């Protein structure tokens, strides 16, 4: 990494072209990645270059820049560089840094959640058919990606009927003594109790694998032949089983939508622009089937064209997921051969990027482009409606302008147990679920069920963090409106917290259900002002109700997750020195963790693998003093 020229030349201006020009004498004519940073160390832009010296020299010029690039240059206070061996490596590193640093002036892929896959597990005589999301660290074969979990669930549901593979966990499989309900409804061949042998089950696995890999026609033909043979042998019950499996296979393919005839594996990207926004629609085709689509709305400067946004989007898109052998694009983007090389480098096969002009592939791209157009139209319409509602909120609560970020808070617990605080965020584009946060209570002295104390802890932690991250004018995560589910009591707690933290610029509102807790008669409490209410059919009231209900839903979900985790934990997990083997030995000997806690010292010493010293440690853990 090169030195900051301001350290070598104290008279260098704080920001601007002169800062950039000072780096040129020490820059190589080699590929690499550069970062442009602002005066406060914030990353403005990440870029890659075939020649770092030539690229940075273009920024040092005083003219010939777009307004966007000109603003970026004027804000640059320092630069950092990383050299690479090839431009392909620079392209991959650039995508990784953009996703991690989220620079203001880059095209930024948002909502980059991992995609679900279908997994046929390995390492077992009877493989499992399962849904998988996240890091591909389980042994087995992955098929996908699917656009969403619903598409995977529908496919798994019908594949159970078609191939009768087990979906239970290994632990459940090993402990079955009789077939489960899935076998009774003809969705599992019940290998757990030996109703099918290994060779026959292996044949079912092979059929499922072939089907997911694109050999559906061959699998259907073999099942049809088996059905006809069973009919000739007058084994009509077995023939009916084959018939049901063939129908299930047809159902899997019938739900795919358009199915290309001559294409086994491809992703289709189509970009459409309107109203200063860009929508990129992505369709996934695997095994000759349409496995769903998803619309993305990347953050990018309004001056950028669809071509300028689509190229960086694709590289970021495949930063954490495998690329197919073929990518079909609606627009020709800069550096397509370089993108091909970069994606091929990360794969064990050749990746092709193409912009089709005719034929079936062109029709697929046109279909994706139509969907991108429709998705952006819906988003613009929703944004206009949302804008009117936010204007109504500003008028109701006397705000200077329509709030761009509303934070709503709620708590959830059952008699004080598994207490969780929740925060949701809404803005001009609706609910921003990537900004949601949950707060597990840390205060050990918290009285169970004390909603006021829970709210105090949540707000204190939230705004202490905001103060650490920077003042309001520099940090876009400060709320323009704080909405709390509750009444005057909750409002007074929020006022106290903000006063203690010396925060005076955040408007506060508490929303309560009003007389008899009837929805539609909500009351709004603001510091130092009379209680307000709206007409029952006011659209702004409906909007505020939706915000409160979403916070309530998220809080209950977080609480249920916490409760589920606590239900599956054991007191033995908290003891130092107790690993899986000793834990298993104790549970096998005593039957339950509760029985272990009640056992005497001599009984603990009698457990295989538990020494006298360990027995004393376990006994002391459950018996203070």
Beta partners for residue 562, in sequence order: none
**Angstrom distance (rounded) from CA 256 to CA 142:** 19
Q: Which of 208-212, 341-345, 497-501 has the lowest average pLDDT?
A: 208-212
- Confidence class for position 112, pLDDT limits 50, 70, 90: low
**Burial class of residue 225 in the structure, from the number of CB atoms within 10 Å of its CB (0-12 exposed, 13-18 middle, 19+ buried):** exposed
- What whole-number percentage of the chain has pLDDT above 90? 33
Question: Which residue bears the tokens 């000997």?
Answer: 589
The arithmetic mean of pLDDT across residues 329-357, rounded, is 92
Question: Which residue bears the tokens 């190589």?
Answer: 28
- Confidence class for position 37, pLDDT limits 50, 70, 90: very high
| The most confident of 100-104, 275-279, 479-483, by mean pLDDT | 479-483
Q: What is the pLDDT of residue 150?
A: 74
Contact yes or no for 245/239 (Cβ under 8 A)? no
Calculated CA dihedral for residues 542, 548, 550, 551, nearest 10 degrees: 170
Task: Name the pTM for this structure.
Answer: 0.65
Contact yes or no for 94/48 (Cβ under 8 A)? yes
Q: What is the pLDDT of residue 12?
A: 45
Domains and CATH numbers, the chain: 5-101 (3.40.1440.10), 116-254 (no CATH), 266-377 (3.30.420), 406-557 (3.30.420.340), 571-622 (1.10.150.20)
**Angstrom distance (rounded) from CA 93 to CA 32:** 9
| The most confident of 97-101, 387-391, 533-537, by mean pLDDT | 387-391
Higher pLDDT, 363 or 515: 363
Q: What is the pLDDT of residue 9?
A: 45
**Angstrom distance (rounded) from CA 339 to CA 332:** 12
Residue 288: is its pLDDT beyond 60? yes
Which has the closest alpha carbon to 482: 532, 388, 548, 383? 548
- Confidence class for position 8, pLDDT limits 50, 70, 90: very low
Q: What is the pLDDT of residue 441?
A: 82
The arithmetic mean of pLDDT across residues 2-30, rounded, is 71
Tokens of 221: 């033909």
Residue 314: is its pLDDT beyond 90? yes
Higher pLDDT, 494 or 415: 494
> For 444, which DSSP code?
T
Residue 567: is its pLDDT beyond 70? no
Q: Which long-range contacts (CB under 8 A, 24 or more apart) does 364-368 make?
A: 364/258, 364/260, 364/263, 364/266, 364/268, 364/283, 364/285, 364/328, 365/268, 365/270, 365/328, 365/329, 365/330, 367/258, 367/283, 368/268, 368/269, 368/270, 368/281, 368/282, 368/283, 368/293, 368/330
Residue 255: is its pLDDT beyond 60? no
**Angstrom distance (rounded) from CA 548 to CA 411:** 11
Q: What is the pLDDT of residue 495?
A: 94
Higher pLDDT, 5 or 272: 272
**Angstrom distance (rounded) from CA 610 to CA 619:** 12
- What whole-number percentage of the chain has pLDDT above 70? 88
**Burial class of residue 473 in the structure, from the number of CB atoms within 10 Å of its CB (0-12 exposed, 13-18 middle, 19+ buried):** exposed
Q: What is the pLDDT of residue 47?
A: 93
Residue 126: is its pLDDT beyond 60? yes
- Confidence class for position 63, pLDDT limits 50, 70, 90: confident
Strand 32-37 to strand 78-83: parallel, antiparallel, or no bridges (unpaired)?
antiparallel
């Amino acid at each position: 990494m090169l030195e900051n020229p301001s350290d070598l030349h104290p008279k260098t201006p704080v920001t601007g072209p002169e800062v950039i020009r000072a780096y040129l004498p020490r820059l190589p004519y080699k590929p690499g990645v550069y970062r442009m940073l602002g005066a406060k160390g914030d990353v403005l832009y990440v870029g890659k270059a075939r020649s770092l010296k030539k690229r940075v020299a273009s920024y040092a010029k005083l003219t010939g820049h777009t307004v966007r690039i000109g603003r970026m240059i004027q804000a640059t206070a320092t630069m950092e560089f990383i050299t690479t061996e090839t431009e392909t490596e620079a392209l991959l590193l650039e995508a990784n840094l953009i996703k991690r640093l989220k620079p203001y002036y880059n095209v930024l892929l948002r909502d980059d959640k991992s995609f679900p896959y279908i997994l046929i597990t390995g390492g077992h005589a009877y493989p499992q058919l399962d849904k998988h999301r996240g890091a591909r660290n389980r042994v087995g074969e992955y098929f996908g990606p699917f656009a969403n979990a619903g598409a995977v669930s529908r496919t798994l549901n019908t594949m159970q009927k078609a191939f009768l593979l087990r979906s239970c966990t290994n632990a459940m499989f090993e402990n079955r003594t009789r077939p489960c309900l899935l076998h009774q409804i003809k969705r599992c061949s019940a290998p757990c109790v030996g109703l099918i042998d290994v060779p026959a089950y292996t044949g079912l696995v092979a059929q499922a694998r072939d089907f997911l890999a694109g050999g559906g026609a061959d699998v259907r033909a073999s099942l049809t032949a088996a059905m006809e043979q069973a009919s000739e042998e007058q084994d009509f019950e077995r023939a009916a089983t084959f018939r049901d499996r063939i129908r299930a296979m047809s159902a899997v393919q019938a739900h795919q939508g358009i199915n290309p005839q001559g294409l086994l594996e491809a992703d289709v990207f189509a970009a459409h622009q309107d109203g200063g926004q860009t929508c990129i629609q992505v369709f996934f085709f695997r095994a000759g089937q349409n496995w769903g689509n998803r619309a993305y709305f990347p953050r990018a400067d309004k001056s950028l064209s669809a071509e300028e946004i689509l190229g960086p989007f694709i590289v970021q898109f495949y930063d954490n997921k495998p690329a197919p052998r073929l990518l079909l694009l609606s627009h020709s983007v800069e550096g397509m051969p370089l993108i091909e090389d970069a994606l091929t480098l990360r794969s064990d096969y050749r990746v092709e990027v193409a912009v089709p002009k005719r034929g079936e592939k062109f029709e697929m791209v046109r279909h994706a482009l139509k969907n991108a157009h429709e998705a952006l139209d819906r988003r613009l319409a929703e944004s206009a409606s949302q804008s009117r509602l936010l204007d109504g909120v500003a008028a109701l609560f006397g705000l200077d302008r329509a709030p761009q970020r509303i934070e709503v808070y709620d708590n959830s617990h059952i008699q004080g147990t598994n207490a969780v605080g929740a925060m949701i965020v809404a803005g001009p584009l609706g609910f921003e679920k990537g900004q949601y946060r949950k707060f597990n209570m840390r205060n050990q002295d918290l009285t169970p069920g004390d909603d006021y104390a829970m709210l105090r802890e949540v707000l204190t932690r939230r705004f202490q963090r905001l103060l650490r991250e920077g003042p309001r004018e520099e940090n876009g995560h400060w709320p323009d409106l704080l909405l709390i589910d509750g009444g005057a009591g909750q409002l007074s707690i929020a006022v106290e917290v903000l006063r203690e933290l010396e925060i005076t610029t955040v408007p506060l509102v508490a929303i309560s259900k009003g007389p008899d807790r009837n929805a539609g008669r909500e009351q709004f409490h603001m510091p130092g002002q009379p209680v307000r209410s709206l007409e029952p059919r006011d659209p702004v009231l409906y909007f505020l109700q939706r915000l409160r209900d979403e916070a309530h839903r998220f809080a209950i979900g977080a609480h249920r997750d916490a409760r589920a985790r606590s239900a599956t934990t054991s007191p033995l997990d908290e003891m130092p020195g107790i690993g899986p083997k000793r834990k298993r030995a104790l549970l096998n000997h005593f039957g339950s963790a509760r029985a272990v806690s009640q056992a005497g010292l001599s009984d603990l010493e009698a457990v295989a693998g538990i020494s006298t010293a360990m027995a004393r440690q376990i006994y002391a853990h459950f018996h203070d003093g």
